[in-house]
């Protein structure tokens, strides 16, 4: 945690006090424990994604931060203020839901102004702020429309404008893109990201879509069964997964049962491979290796971890193919690799074709079997 925060401020060794500090957050529903003592610090201006499969507790955690659910144990501090027991109205955040939750009987302007009017702001000022916000989310001139006259993506932009209207210190996004179709989703997530950069508002987004998390987050909090598995930058989470769960959940990965040998070697099937991450000898482990870390080229003579494979199955995915290979070197284990369409054509490779492959030694992650 400390490390992550230090990275935020570059190389200077300044310890930033967390803007949002969660300590020992627990949530029990009867005998079911939804959150098992979550600790998390979020720095000011950060964009954090809570990522995990459904039921992992990510939405519950967000709702606890919002005060929409009361935690069973633990404390929350926002900007140095203890908000553990404050009701939603006593906290400082804006929220956007998957369902947009726009008031259907109010115009876009009235929706965006909903929280402003309550602050007894003069009318002219409200109108000006509304104009600013709809422009900010890219829908200038839509003030007079009703939500039903807007597309899903447009509605979500208005919901975002409404959440930002009161200039909250924290922006909470609960699966904001899940209800949208794929193209709008990709487009809008980039806009949310650049808007967040522009405003510098500390943001937490809950998502089950790992691609979304990788694309927008400063840091990703990977959750599973009510606990945090790993907190890290998208690159860390993808490249150096802390647990098998993270490795499995984020991106595609090969899992190969193996045995530790002496030094930095592991045995997969009948073959011994070089693996610098392997240490203690003996015992069964699992090697986690992403498809892109199995190379078909360049392979130099004398390279380590090279073996011959034959193609079992080719799944065409557009510019590249997902190729299932087998090899006597790996025993009965199959391996998935990415091969470009051009490479396959150039090498005249089809099902049954043979090719040499290399396992990148320093990309092989070792986890307890």
Give how far Cα 19 sits from Cα of 47, 82, 105, 169, Å.
Answer: 12, 11, 36, 9
Are residues 264 and 366 in contact, defined by beta-carbon separation less than 8 angstroms? no
Q: Compute the least distance from the CB of residue 78 to other proteins, in Å.
A: 13
DSSP state at residue 18: P
Of 68-76, 247-255, 338-346, 351-359, which part binds other proteins (CB under 8 A)? 68-76
Interaction of residue 66 with other proteins, rule CB under 8 A: yes
Residue closer to other proteins by CB (options 66, 215) is 66
Q: Compute the least distance from the CB of residue 137 to other proteins, in Å.
A: 16
How many beta carbons lie within 10 A of that of residue 232, not counting itself? Answer: 21
Q: Compute the least distance from the CB of residue 273 to other proteins, in Å.
A: 44
Task: Provide the greatest CA pair distance for the chain.
Answer: 78
Q: Compute the least distance from the CB of residue 307 to other proteins, in Å.
A: 48
189/196 Cα distance (integer angstroms): 10
Of 69-77, 221-229, 287-295, 330-338, which part binds other proteins (CB under 8 A)? 69-77
Q: Among residues 6, 33, 45, 74, which is the contact residue for other proteins, using CB under 8 A?
A: 74
Angle formed at CA 360 by CA 357 and CA 361, multiple of 5 degrees: 125
Interaction of residue 99 with other proteins, rule CB under 8 A: yes
Q: Among residues 9, 16, 73, 304, which is the contact residue for other proteins, using CB under 8 A?
A: 73
Total residues found in the chain within this entry: 369
Of 10-18, 100-108, 181-189, 339-347, which part binds other proteins (CB under 8 A)? 100-108
108: which residues sit within 8 A by CB, 6+ positions away? 134, 139, 142, 143, 144, 145, 146, 147, 150, 158
**Can you give the binding site for other proteins, defined by CB under 8 A?**
23-24, 37, 66-68, 70-75, 84-91, 93-95, 97, 99-101, 103-107, 114-115, 118-119, 146-149, 162-163, 165-166, 168, 172
């Amino acid at each position: 945690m400390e490390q992550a925060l230090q990275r935020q401020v570059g190389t200077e060794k300044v310890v930033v006090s967390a803007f949002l500090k969660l300590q020992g957050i627990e949530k029990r529903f009867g005998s079911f424990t939804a959150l098992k003592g979550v600790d998390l610090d979020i720095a000011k201006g950060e964009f954090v994604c809570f990522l995990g499969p459904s039921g992992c507790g990510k939405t519950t955690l967000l709702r606890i931060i919002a005060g929409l659910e009361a935690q069973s144990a633990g404390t929350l501090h926002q900007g140095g203020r203890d908000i553990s027991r404050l009701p939603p109205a006593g906290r400082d955040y804006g929220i956007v839901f998957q369902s947009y939750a726009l008031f259907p009987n109010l115009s876009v302007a009235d929706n965006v102004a909903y929280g402003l009017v309550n602050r007894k702001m003069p009318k002219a000022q409200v109108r000006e702020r509304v104009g600013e916000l709809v422009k900010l989310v890219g829908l200038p001139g839509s003030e007079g429309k009703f939500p039903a006259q807007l597309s899903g993506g447009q509605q979500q932009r208005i919901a975002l404008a409404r959440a930002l209207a009161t200039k909250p210190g924290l922006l909470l996004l609960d699966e904001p893109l899940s209800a949208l179709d794929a193209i709008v989703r990709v487009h809008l997530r980039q806009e949310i990201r650049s808007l967040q950069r522009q405003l510098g508002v500390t943001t937490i987004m809950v998502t089950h879509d790992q691609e979304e998390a990788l694309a927008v987050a400063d840091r990703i909090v990977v959750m599973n069964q009510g606990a945090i598995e790993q907190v890290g930058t998208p690159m860390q989470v993808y490249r150096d997964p802390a647990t098998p769960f993270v490795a499995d959940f984020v991106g595609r990965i090969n899992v190969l049962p193996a045995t530790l040998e002496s030094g930095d070697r592991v045995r997969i099937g009948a073959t011994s491979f070089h693996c610098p991450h392997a240490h203690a000898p003996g015992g069964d482990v699992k090697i986690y290796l992403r498809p892109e870390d199995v190379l078909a080229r360049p392979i130099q003579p004398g390279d380590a971890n090279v073996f011959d494979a034959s193609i079992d199955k080719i799944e065409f995915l557009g510019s590249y193919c997902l190729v299932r290979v087998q090899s006597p070197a790996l025993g009965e284990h199959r391996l998935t690799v990415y091969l470009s369409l051009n490479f396959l054509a150039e090498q005249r490779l089809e099902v049954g074709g043979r090719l040499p492959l290399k396992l990148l030694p320093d990309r092989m992650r070792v986890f307890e079997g």
